[in-house]
Amino acid sequence: MELTVVNKEGKDSKKKVKLSDSIYGIEPNDHAIYLDVKQHLANRRQGTSKSKQRAEITGSTRKIKKQKGTGTARAGSIKSPLFRGGGTVFGPTPRDYSFKLNKKLKKLARCSALSYKVKGNELKVVEDIQFDQPKTKEFSSILNGLDSSNKKTLFVVTESNNNIYLSSRNLKGAKVVTASDISTYDLMNAKSVIVSEGALETIEKILS
């Protein structure tokens, strides 16, 4: 499988890259993608929600009325969940939502996501781009040239480049990641995936 490499204006650079069929040409596994995305979202949850139970409420523990003869139900404490201001029954407590997945499954999920992008013509390979200084206008013009200005775009670069990151930060829907940090969630969440030539080699090293 081959893809044409384009320049930052979106024009043919007369170069082609060969994509590995074991990464970009597999039969996508939807369940692997589901599990990897579920783990990604679960790991992002803070899990800090908390409500006070009756033992944690500030208040007196004296018996508020006599046991019998009142005509109403017995009550032992003002902190009972039945009263306003009382404790919460089965309320949320701090917890860790994260869970583990096998490396092979996570690798399969990323390969499946990349295969979907190639099949849907949503993956483009662009020549390596360097920014001498942050320029949002220049980054925006690159997206326009690659027909990705009005789409959720994932821009994959070889290594961390602060100028490219700062240039994209103010653009809604644009996200820049390094090839080593690429995730199934980011791939599936983007309508357009732009990969630099150098990043393509890094991805193949990681996933092969």
Q: Lowest-confidence range among 26-35, 41-50, 60-69, 130-139?
A: 130-139
Second CATH level (architecture) for the domain 2-45+101-207: 3-Layer(aba) Sandwich (3.40)
Nearest Cα to 32, choosing from 106, 118, 119?
106
pLDDT at position 155:
92
Band (103; pLDDT cuts 50, 70, 90): very high
What are the CA-CA distances from residue 183 to residues 23, 110, 118, 172, 194 (Å)? 14, 7, 16, 19, 14
Residues 3 and 205: their CA atoms lie apart, in Å, by: 18
Show me where the domains of the chain are located.
Answer: 2-45+101-207, 48-96
Q: Is the model's pLDDT at 13 over the cut of 80?
A: no
Q: What's the mean pLDDT when you consider all of the chain?
A: 91
* 20 or 42, higher pLDDT: 42
Residues 186 and 180: their CA atoms lie apart, in Å, by: 13
pLDDT at position 17:
87
Q: Is the model's pLDDT at 14 over the cut of 90?
A: no
Single pTM value for the model: 0.82
pLDDT at position 7:
83
pLDDT at position 101:
95
pLDDT at position 8:
79
pLDDT at position 182:
92
Q: At what angle do helices 103-119 and 197-207 cross, to 10 degrees?
A: 140
Which tens digit of pLDDT belongs to each residue from 45-98? 999 999 999 999 998 889 999 999 999 999 989 999 999 999 999 999 999 999
